[in-house]
């Protein structure tokens, strides 16, 4: 059976999510798998995570600066070296036409083969966790940008005047899916994901306790102790 992510070397993948650390938490193993396979992965983050405050980082503007650097370091661990940061307010993200235009501009500028975001339909990630509204808003705006705006020149024609013509995306992948149709075994990349997450020092607290919690979550989400998987909703667009 052919792998779901068996693409040509050099395939470009653009991951667009709400906050610093979302890529590593949602699909860090998959990102490591993709960069190892020779795919070019880039990030677009809609906020700088300034409301992820903690006792050690109580000031929001300073925290935003810290989290930008943490995200760059975490991305580099996974083999990602291009991160675009927007400056929408953490916690107040909504899928407005303005944000859709900016996401459309980003996609048209990068010209990715694959776009990845978060499933906007998933309100309840587990029995103990509600999905953050920013996660859902990011997913919604990406879905609405990918179709129809990115490929249709009559949407946001000002972008064409700016030098961003319409482009076609081959696939859309949604992490944290309400209903998955792709499950990737990323067991061999679990340690790299953990290492990347440790770069988010402002968010994880005590590193030892964090790694213990991460291991518990791994056991909860996998059918064996040695296996770690990440799940997606994959949409393949007709050519």
Mean pLDDT, all residues of the chain? 94
Q: What average pLDDT does this structure show over 132-147? A: 97
More confident residue, 142 or 239: 142
* Contact between residue 165 and residue 171 where contact means Cβ atoms under 8 Å apart: no
Looking at residue 1, its pLDDT comes to: 44
For position 215, what pLDDT does the model report? 84
Q: Which of 123-132, 137-146, 214-223 has the lowest mean pLDDT?
A: 214-223
Residue 13 predicted with pLDDT over 70: yes
pLDDT tens-digit map of 164-218: 999 999 999 999 999 999 999 999 999 999 999 999 999 999 999 999 888 887 7
Instruction: Compute, in degrees rounded to 10, the torsion defined by CA atoms 210, 16, 4, 113.
Output: -150
Average the pLDDT over 142-147 and give the result.
98
**3-state per-residue secondary structure call for the chain:** CCCCCCCCCCCEEEEEECCCCHHHHHHHHHHHHHHHCCCEEEEEEEECCCCCCECCECCHHHHHHHHHHHHHHHHHHCCCCCEEEEEECCCCCCCCHHHHHHHHHHHHHHCCCEEEEECCCCCEEECCEECCHHHHHHHHHHHHHHHHHCCCCCCCHHHHHCCCCCCCCCEEEEECCCCCCEEEECHHHHHHHHHHHHCCHHHHCCHHHHHHHHHHHHHHHCCCCCCCEEEEEEEECCC
- What mean pLDDT comes out for the span 220-232? 76
Classify domain 12-236 at the CATH superfamily level.
LmbE-like (3.40.50.10320)
Ranges 12-16, 35-39, 127-131, 220-224: which has the least confidence: 220-224
Which tokens go with 8? 């040509």
Q: Which pLDDT tens digit goes with each residue over 44-72?
A: 999 999 999 888 889 999 999 999 999 99
pLDDT given for residue 235 in this prediction: 97
**Is residue 21 predicted with pLDDT exceeding 50?**
yes
């Amino acid at each position: 059976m052919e792998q779901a992510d068996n693409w040509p070397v050099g395939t470009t993948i653009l991951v667009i999510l709400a906050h610093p650390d979302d890529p590593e938490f949602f699909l860090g193993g998959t990102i490591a798998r993709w960069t190892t396979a020779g795919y070019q992965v880039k990030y677009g983050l809609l906020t700088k995570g300034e409301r992820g405050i903690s006792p050690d980082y109580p000031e929001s503007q300073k925290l935003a600066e810290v989290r930008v650097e943490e995200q760059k370091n975490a991305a580099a661990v996974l083999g990602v070296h291009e991160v675009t940061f927007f400056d929408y307010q953490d916690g107040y993200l909504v899928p407005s036409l303005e944000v859709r235009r900016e996401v459309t501009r980003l996609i048209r500028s990068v010209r990715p083969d694959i776009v990845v975001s978060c499933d906007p339909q998933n309100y309840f990630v587990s029995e103990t966790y509600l999905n953050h509204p920013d996660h859902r808003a990011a997913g919604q705006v990406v879905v609405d940008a990918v179709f129809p705006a990115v490929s249709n020149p009559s949407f946001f024609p000002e972008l064409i005047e700016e030098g961003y013509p319409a482009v076609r995306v081959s696939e859309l992948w949604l992490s944290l899916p309400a209903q998955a149709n792709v499950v990737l075994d990323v067991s061999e990349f679990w340690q790299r994901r953990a290492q990347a997450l440790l770069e988010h020092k402002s968010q994880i607290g005590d590193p030892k306790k964090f790694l213990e919690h991460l291991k518990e979550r791994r056991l909860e989400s996998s059918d064996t102790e040695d296996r770690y998987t990440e799940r997606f909703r994959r949409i393949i667009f007709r050519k």
